Chain A
Amino acid sequence: MIRLNSKTKLILTVAALGLTMLWFYHLEQNPRANGYLIKILERSAIYAVVAVAMNLMNGFTGLFSLGQAGFMAIGAYTVGILTIPVEARPNVYYISGVAPWLEKIEIHYLAALFLGGLIAAVFAALIGVLILKLRSDYLAIATLGFAEIIRSVIASPQMDTITNGSYGLKKILRFETIYTPFILSAVCIFMMVLILRSSYGRAFLAIREDEVAAEAMGINLFTHKELSFVISSFFTGVAGGLLAMFMGSIDSGTFRVTLTYDILLIVVLGGMGSVSGSVIAAFLVTGGREYLRFFDEPLKIAGVQISLFRPGFRMVIFSALLMIVVLFYRKGIMGDTEFSWDGIANFIYRFLPTGKARRGNGGRDE
């Protein structure tokens, strides 16, 4: 075991952050050439927020919720409706016009993001009172059902003047630099980490491990489950808002159950109960999905058409990956441990020849 002292760790952290910033600065200098990479990074950062929020509920509190897509839809539509420039609205709502009370309201995107999270949280609080009593799999189905209800309400003709029904929204305010989504995502994840480290976070863990024992220790089950659901939904809503700003145009089809499953893949791959695992997996999965696009394109080897490679193959691989992780590698990348510089150091140490020699010596130092 190697233990780095805290000064080294601080230096490493600052160095890593600095290098990332420099790299972003470098990417920004030439947005045209690096546009694709920037898009992938931004999407990964946003998915990381949703994944951590899902992990907070599923991995840390042990409540299996599949309502992510619905809460993201709430956040996304809130941000979309409130940030489309007033002069562009007649153009967006060209079918049935915009509701008169909404016509002139346009707010700053930060306020809109916060409001999106807040509305998602309020919905979660109301729903939670009803369904958090349910046991694991019923809870999963009920949350899935609510997400589906939210989606069908958004797409319904009765909501045309607010959400533009099935036509979706476009011309949503977009990010100007790559820093905006990254800083906002980092702030969200940091806040969730703080919550998980507080006494509330400990209570969530206790509930996950054993509800009865937790209750006996004086943890109010309902309050804490509700709290976990509300916090998770708040950040899911904010992430949905970020996604709307990232995509610039959304419709109700964006928020199907498959979106929840994509996030679930990230959480499971990263490890249920590991924040850093979710973040790492978010970047791996999102990046992988983009860079493995060649799976979807016809491939010729020595003039022979390989018929395996055609549209859709990529997603087959990703869903097979989810199965493989669940069946054979249930802990995912990080299990329930967190990223640490000590872990990295030990990982490197294990592959150094001197390290091996020392371990052969019964672990004693010469």
Chain B
Amino acid sequence: MSLETVLQHVLAGISLGGAYALIAIGYTMVYGVLRLINFAHGEIFMIAGYLMIFSMASMPWQIAIPVVLIGTTLLGVFIERFAYSPLRSAPRMSIMISAIGVSYLLQNLATYLFTALPRGYPVIPFLKKVFQIGTISSSLVTFITPVITVVLVILLVQLITHTKIGMAMRAVSKDFETATLMGIQLNSVISATFAIGSFLAGVGSILYFTDRMSVNPFSGALPGLKCFVAAVLGGIGSIPGAMIGGFILGLGETFMVALGFSTFSDAFTFVILVLMLLFKPTGLFGEMEAEKV
């Protein structure tokens, strides 16, 4: 591989990783607060893709993008209210089954409503403009994805560390019961967590699918699982960790494909997961005294 191709792949990998990072943050935040792997997160991401297709059909992209982001946010909050909050005191396994159930339901619902055939993702003209830096050329979306990711992560970290709701989130993730005793409104904190996570999944979905060009009802499942792995890799509960994890996975996957191991690129992700859980369950940036996994 020449230097040029390597650089091209690095760029593609970072761009993919940026989208992964945005989804991974949703997992990491929800896990931090509820100790639940939100299996439906990948499906929220997929539904955001369909929302974009339908809103672009009737409005210009300047309006469609906010509509999609708001819709996705509401969907996430609604799912939490409907499927997770009634099970707050139930055994863990029930909540997990409920999460799997939501994911299964959304997949089947999407198959029913939009058929299993892939649908073309609308082209947002300015994102698709071909851009050139030195000898590397790519569409604008590839260049701005990592930038958007980093900016959003910085904003989110500010939110978590400096605002009241952020402080409440940290308190809930440290100790559920004590936080409630201190007068924190558990339900609104959890809703806010889902809202932020889903909003970022919406942004990630626009960036990811603009590059992939088509959506089908199952296109959320595998990226969803991979992003969970990214969250574990970075250390569950850590937002910058999820971002780094996303970038590592994105780069790893791109290079696996470039080297001709495309069938094993998914397996590679899970090998990383198992290795991480075995040797460093707290992840790269997780808190030291995190609970036993």
* Chain A interface residues toward B at CB < 8 A: 58, 62, 64, 66, 130-131, 134-138, 140-142, 144-146, 148-149, 152-153, 155-158, 257-258, 261, 264-265, 268, 272, 310-313, 315-316, 318-320, 322-323, 326-327, 330
Contacts and interface: CB of A to CB of B under 8 A. Distances in A.
A326 B98 contact: yes
Contacts of B278: 130-131
B83 A316 contact: no
A316 B270 contact: no
A264 B100 contact: yes
Contact of A330 (B90, B109, B263): B90
B271 interface: yes
Nearest to B109: A316
Nearest to A323: B101
Contacts of A62: 93
Given A130-B278, A142-B277, A315-B112, A327 B104 contact: no
B156 interface: no
Contacts of B281: 138
B225 interface: yes
10 contacts: A66-B100, A130-B278, A134-B277, A135-B292, A148-B266, A313-B112, A316-B105, A323-B102, A330-B90, A330-B94
A316 B108 contact: yes
B96 interface: yes
Interface string B100-121: 1110110111011101100000
Given A322-B104, A326-B98, A152 B112 contact: no
Nearest to A66: B100
Contacts of A327: 83, 86-87, 98
B109 A145 contact: no
A41 to B, nearest CB: 25
Given A145-B274, A152-B264, A261-B100, 9 more contacts: A134-B293, A136-B92, A137-B92, A148-B267, A149-B267, A257-B221, A264-B100, A318-B108, A323-B105
B225 to A, nearest CB: 7
B67 interface: no
B244 to A, nearest CB: 19
Is the contact region of chain B dominated by helix, strand, or loop, or is it mixed? helix
A326 B94 contact: yes
Contacts of B225: 141, 144-145, 148
A152 B266 contact: yes
Contact of B104 (A142, A145, A319): A319
Contacts of A131: 274, 277-278
Interface string B221-233: 1000100110010
A146 B111 CA distance: 26
Residue from the set B113, B263, B271, B273 with the largest chain A CB neighbour count within 10 Å = B263
Nearest to B278: A130
Contacts of B229: 145
Contacts of B98: 323, 326-327
B293 A130 contact: no
Nearest to A140: B96
Nearest to A150: B267
Contacts of A258: 104, 107
A158 B266 CA distance: 16
B97 interface: yes
B36 interface: yes
A128 to B, nearest CB: 12
B97 A315 contact: no
A131 B105 CA distance: 29
B64 interface: no
A327 B102 CA distance: 11
Nearest to A324: B101
Contact of A312 (B115, B267, B293): B115
Contacts of B116: 312
B39 to A, nearest CB: 9
Contacts of A272: 93
A178 B102 CA distance: 36
A268 B97 contact: yes
B37 interface: yes
A188 to B, nearest CB: 24
Contacts of B111: 312, 315
Interface string B255-293: 000000001101101110110011001000000000011
Given A316-B112, A326-B98, A157 B93 contact: no
Contacts of A261: 100, 104
B93 A136 contact: yes
A339 to B, nearest CB: 23
B264 A140 contact: no
A137 B97 contact: no
Contacts of A323: 83, 98, 101-102, 105
Contacts of A322: 97, 101, 104-105
B277 A264 contact: no
A317 B218 CA distance: 18
B177 to A, nearest CB: 19
Residue from the set B83, B90, B277 with the largest chain A CB neighbour count within 10 Å = B277
A62 B94 CA distance: 12
A136 B35 CA distance: 11
A311 B108 CA distance: 10
Contacts of B109: 316, 319
A182 B86 CA distance: 40
B93 A145 contact: no
A137 B267 contact: no
A152 B263 CA distance: 6
B131 to A, nearest CB: 34
A75 to B, nearest CB: 20
A319 B86 contact: no
